[in-house]
Amino acid sequence: MNKHPLRKITSEHKQTYALDGVVVLRGMFDSDWIKLMHSAAEQVMANPTAYGIPGPSQGNDMTSVCHMWRKPGEFRDFVFNSPAAEITGKIIGSSTIRMYHDHLFIKPPHSRKIMRWHHDATAWPVTGEQVPNLWLSLTKANEQSGRVEFLAGYPKYCLDNNIVYGFNNDQASGICPDFEKRREDPNLNFVSFDLDPGDVVLFHPLMPHHSKGNSSDKPRIGLALRLFGDDVLWSPASHKAPIPDVEQLPAGQQPQGKYFPILWQNT
Ligand SMILES: O=C(O)CCC(=O)C(=O)O
């Protein structure tokens, strides 16, 4: 199984991420990784709590499980030994990548589950731009099966206007708009990617994204890794997602220690 990306990370990848806040990378993982993680995902689907902690969307129409990497097994191997951290570090321009958490999203065939528009920064108890989401497709993801959709360029709008959405209107900058109602807005650039198993989408923590149901006959499986780069500092707030076994750190401190191990360094 490959430790380093199978293809070169190009300046075009980096520029696209810097400009749009989202970039697709194809063919970076070998088929052994994809087979292994696909079968690991199926095991989680059969018995979620044996492998991790159910996420907010866990239910019949979606498997949503986090923190599988904390236990020995395929998810931990993937986090430490796959090219995921190197890909991320090179694209976001961080000298160090630490683990934050993993999150598996499985939409079974004919799932009606809609993930409403949101950005991940809403839930992360940190400041900093270098908390991307590397979403690895373990199946085909397309319009029919419920691929994820993004708003290219929107993270820059959030940064320029100091916007971080909350879960509710009374948190942070209020709730994330329902961009479904703004499909015709010429200022919004909706983008999505048809993915094959092994393709990844890397996106910025302020990137609004959503997904619709899976009307195909096969499951749609995505494994999201959320990773920390150099500029991340602890910034607790009551509505932020707790991290199991981790006490709140003082605001401004850099996350480190055994729950945030270094995965990759630019040597
Ligand atoms: O997999 C999906 O449909 C949604 C993914 C998502 O919201 C995320 O990775 O933050």
> Which of the four pLDDT bands, split at 50, 70 and 90, describes residue 267?
confident
Closest by Cα among 164, 177, 179 to 239: 164
Q: Which atom of ligand 1 is nearest to the CA of 222?
A: 1
Given a contact cutoff of 8 angstroms between Cβ atoms, the answer to whether 6 and 33 are in contact is: no
pLDDT, tens digit, for every residue of 50-62? 999 999 899 999 9
Residues 6 or more apart whose Cβ sits within 8 Å of residue 103: 55, 64, 65, 66, 223, 224, 226
CA distance 158 to 170: 18
Taking CA atoms only, the protein residue closest to ligand 1 atom 3 is 211
Specify the CATH superfamily of domain 11-256: q2cbj1_9rhob like domain (2.60.120.620)
Q: Is the pLDDT of residue 194 over 90?
A: yes
Q: Which atom of ligand 1 is nearest to the CA of 118?
A: 7
pLDDT, tens digit, for every residue of 66-104? 999 999 999 999 999 999 999 999 999 999 999 999 999
Q: What is the mean pLDDT of residues 149-177?
A: 96
CA distance 243 to 245: 6
Q: Which residues does a 6 A CB cutoff place in the pocket of ligand 1?
A: 105, 115, 120, 133, 135, 148, 209, 211, 222, 224
Q: What is the 5 CA–ligand 1 centroid distance (Å)?
A: 23
Taking CA atoms only, the protein residue closest to ligand 1 atom 8 is 224
Q: Is the pLDDT of residue 204 over 80?
A: yes
Q: Is the pLDDT of residue 248 over 90?
A: no
Listed by start position, the domains of the chain span 11-256
Q: What is the 30 CA–ligand 1 centroid distance (Å)?
A: 23
Could you count the other beta carbons within 10 Å of the beta carbon of residue 210? 20
pLDDT of amino acid 234: 95
pLDDT, tens digit, for every residue of 173-185? 999 999 999 999 9
